[in-house]
Amino acid sequence: QVQLAETGGGLVQAGGSLRLSCAASGRNANTYAMGWFRQAPGKEREFVSAITFGGGVTRYADAVRARFFISRDNAKNTVYLQMNSLKPEDTAVYYCVADSKMTVTKNQDYWGQGTQVTVFA
């Protein structure tokens, strides 16, 4: 069992930056691929980014590529999402996920509780 705890959400003006963190705990937590999804009001939950357990491979949704950057520190069992040049359409609840293999589908092994990101114009 793996537990995920997100921090770092908040309110930011368009063009600004935020960094989300997700601390993983539990057995073999640092052996999982990890990533982020988001869900805006009235919309489907969607893939944002993912990273392999070794950190060597990353993937991004087209909507965030070149603005968001994912990384991980396995010594701290933590994954980060650096979000730059934020837009109002990035407003959503952001969820941390962990899976035995990197996948962009919603069929993830574990989900965090989510953290709210609000971008105002």
Residue 3 vs residue 29, higher pLDDT: 3
Of the pLDDT bands very low, low, confident and very high (cuts 50, 70, 90), residue 29 is confident
Write the pLDDT tens digit of every residue in 56-79.
899 999 999 999 999 999 999 999
pLDDT of residue 30: 79
Write the pLDDT tens digit of every residue in 79-106.
999 999 999 999 999 999 999 988 889 8
Tokens of 50: 């993912």
